[in-house]
Amino acid sequence: MSKGHQLRSIFNLIGLYFRVNLASAMEYRSAFMIQAFGMVLSNGSFVFFWWIAFNQIGARIGGYDFTDVMFIWAVTSSAFGTANILFANMNHISRLIISGELDTFLLQPKSVLISVLCARTSLSAWGDLLYGFILIALTQGADGQAWLMYFCGLAIGALLMTAVAVTAHTLTFYLGDASTLAGMSVEFIVNFCIYPKGIYAGWVQVLMATLIPATFMVHLPLQLARQFDPLLFSGLLLVSAAYCALAWFFFYRGLRRYESGNLIVTRL
């Protein structure tokens, strides 16, 4: 099977799960709207916090002005929302491994990892996605380059956030329950994404470009939104693809150590 065919198969599988999960969410429209709207309101409080901070301090914080901070907030929120809309099961991989429920996915003819990730969605994550979109519209206006990098950052951020979660949860194959570590990893990546890069010390910035790739999720997209560089953009895409490929490889390597829980139940 060619690489192109494999990619099309993966995208088709993601699209199928998305349609099924969305149809399921629409059966509970009230809960869907309440959770999404509640998340928008919750996130909105941070805009007020940053507005106060910049009014009190003035000028720039960590090299970023108010619109820069709103950009990284928008990308982070929408990336987090997209990851949890499409791949919400990334938060439950350790439980599936420990309980033996991974057996269910091993029966399927499609990619085990994609099936695991896409089998669950989050209703409140739609609020995160919408919040980021509204924020970018209010603070960046008609800046086409900012919009382009927002959408690029959204996609890259969602994939990298998922890759971090998958990598951390895969440690369960080797060390036992790694769900706490995985949860902390996602929290770390969000925290490093929503504050100006300049406030962090040198060694933390190294961490942000390696184990916790916040630099590639929001800070480089911001830099490219302000001054586009084709070479830097190409590097961003290549590094992000490599990071995701390593997470994919690590998971399937760990899967060889999986011991069945004898839960042979097909999923319809």
- Which residues are bridge partners to 64 per DSSP? 61
Higher pLDDT, 17 or 215: 215
CA distance 172 to 162: 16
Higher pLDDT, 125 or 240: 240
pTM comes to 0.84
pLDDT tens, 39-61?
A: 666 666 677 777 777 777 767 77
Q: Pick the closest to residue 19 from 88, 149, 121, 144 (CA basis).
A: 121
What phi, psi does 61 have (nearest 5°)?
A: -120, 120
Q: Tokens for 63, please give them.
A: 């090299």
Average pLDDT value for residue range 244-252? 95
Q: Is 6 exposed, middle or buried (0-12, 13-18, 19+ CB in 10 A)?
A: exposed
Q: Strands (DSSP E) along the chain, which ranges?
A: none
Average pLDDT value for residue range 105-117? 84
Average pLDDT value for residue range 235-246? 94
Q: Say what the pLDDT of residue 240 is.
A: 94
Q: Say what the pLDDT of residue 141 is.
A: 83
CA distance 91 to 70: 26
CA–CA distances in Å: residue 244 to residues 158, 208, 241: 11, 16, 5
Q: Say what the pLDDT of residue 143 is.
A: 87
H/E/C letters for each residue in 63-120?
A: CECHHHHHHHHHHHHHHHHHHHHHCHHHHCHHHHHHHCCHHHHHCCCCCHHHHHHHCC
- Over the chain, what is the mean pLDDT? 83
Q: Say what the pLDDT of residue 161 is.
A: 95
What phi, psi does 64 have (nearest 5°)?
A: -110, 140
**Domain positions in the chain:** 3-255
